[in-house]
Amino acid sequence: MFSKLFAVAVLATAASAHMKITSPVPFNNGVLDNSPLQADGSNFPCKVGTVQGVTYDYGTDIPSNVFAQGSTQKLAFIGTAVHGGGSCQVSVTTDAKPDKNSVWKVIKSIEGGCPAKDQTGNLPGDNASNVDPYTYDYTIPKELQSGNYTLAWTWFNKVGNREMYMNCAPLTVTGSAGSKDFLNTLPDMFTANIGGDCSVAANVDLKFFNPGNDLDRFNSATPSALGTANCTGLATGSPAQSTQANVPSAGGVFITSPPASQPAATQPAASQPAASQPAASQPAASQPVVTSAPVASPPAQSQAAPSPTSSAAAALPPAPSSGSNASSGLSPSGGFTAGTACPTEGQWNCIDGTHFQRCASGSWSASQAVADGTSCQSGQAESLKMVAKRGKKSMRRAVRMRA
């Protein structure tokens, strides 16, 4: 009996040591476990649903991750069961509480080495709370309209059981540029291993059918070393690639071939940007710019995961220097004059629910308007609490064809 209980405990510990994001801050951060999505897809998207008697939802009064258009942010994780790395995507939807019909659009793809680089198995420690020493940059597109979104991190592990991981986080994008039609030019988020007609081969890094224009490759993940999913028919995720077909390679892994109506082009080297090629069914856009990075030695295991608020601070305009007192700079509306000294570094100040500013480098920044359709909770606090008037915006899935 003892040996059986011990075996069960060991398996439970191993399962709990999988990966989850810490930056951006996800929904249900305090109770979210490290497990993958259910194999039947019952808790897709975002692990929302009831599993073994535990119910997850999108929660209430959750501070949003506030990022500016064009800003660079970081993916950070905890957990040790990295399964040899694999391939990840960062995607967004305009739905506040996504469901199975939500349309997700990719803003970043990573092929190979995610969520850990140069690993044949798992990180040491077998501990769900250990900080993953590897982080990954992604950019909030400057063309993405300001407003409220839900962001998703998805991962297809290289070794082990065929699984799909997905964590979601509330996102508020600030700025004055962007277009409501921009999302429709992006590829759809890739899904597999959750009860559909698509599965990812084991022991190979996944090559996404359409990774989008922001693509990183790690661990010598050249196109010839990657394999795409074994899918019934075709699921490309891009109008520009809607006539591609899946062709099985000698190893049984499906690769993507160009349509017969146009000659095959030589794939550029991973360290070179791909040549510009206009798409037939959408405005011309350059092919993904692939960033290949040498595998570096991981930093110390004790490194703390980056805070999403520190990324948000970088998006605010620099505060002018001033020697004035904080109290003397307070206006009747609750805002402080830019440059007024502030006592608590990193603190946010919401002004009448319509503007916000931050204590940065000892001074209050200039105030910025909140995104359209949102308001913030007035007053000073460690986090900026956003109240969203959220609704579904018009988004289109990419055209899909089957062979």
Which pLDDT band, with edges at 50, 70 and 90, does 325 fall under? very low
Domain segments of the chain as ranges: 2-293, 317-388
Which pLDDT band, with edges at 50, 70 and 90, does 131 fall under? confident
The residues near 172 (Cβ < 8 Å, ≥ 6 apart) are 64, 65, 66, 67, 147, 148, 149, 370, 371, 374, 386, 388
Local structure of residue 328 (DSSP, 8 states): G
Burial of 235 (0-12, 13-18, 19+ CB in 10 A): buried
pLDDT, average across residues 303-328: 39
CATH architecture of 2-293: Distorted Sandwich (2.70)
Return the residue matching tokens 């599965």: 199
Which pLDDT band, with edges at 50, 70 and 90, does 123 fall under? low
Q: What is the pLDDT of residues 265-287, one digit of tens each?
A: 333 333 343 333 433 334 334 44
Q: Output the furthest CA–CA distance in the chain (Å, rounded).
A: 74
182-199 burial: b if 16+ Cβ within 10 Å, else e = ebbbbbbbbbbbbbeebb
pTM, to two decimals? 0.61
Phi-psi domain of 360 (left: phi exceeds 0; alpha: psi -120 through 50; beta: other):
beta
> Cα–Cα–Cα angle for 217, 223, 225, nearest 5°?
95
pLDDT, average across residues 162-169: 94
Percent of the chain's residues with pLDDT above 90:
32
- Rounded CA-CA distance 328/326 in Å is 6
Return the residue matching tokens 């004055």: 176
Residue 228 has pLDDT above 70, yes or no: yes
Residue type at position 209: F
Instruction: Give the per-residue pLDDT at 345.
Output: 76
Closest to 356 measured CA to CA, from 307, 320, 308, 316: 316
Contact 238, 398 (CB under 8 A): yes
Which pLDDT band, with edges at 50, 70 and 90, does 387 fall under? low
Element (DSSP H or E) covering residue 315: helix 308-315
Return the residue matching tokens 């006539």: 243
Residue 164 has pLDDT above 80, yes or no: yes
Per-residue 3-state assignment (H helix, E strand, C coil) for 282-304: CCCEECCEEEEECCCCCCCCCCC
Instruction: Give the per-residue pLDDT at 75.
Output: 96
Greater pLDDT, 56 or 256? 56
Q: What is the pLDDT of residues 329-381, one digit of tens each?
A: 666 678 888 888 888 877 888 898 888 888 876 777 888 877 766 778 888 88
* Cα–Cα distances in angstroms (integers) from residue 264 to residues 67, 121, 256, 257, 367, in the given order: 39, 36, 11, 8, 52
Instruction: Give the per-residue pLDDT at 215.
Output: 96
Greater pLDDT, 75 or 395? 75
pLDDT, average across residues 389-393: 50
Instruction: Give the per-residue pLDDT at 269.
Output: 39
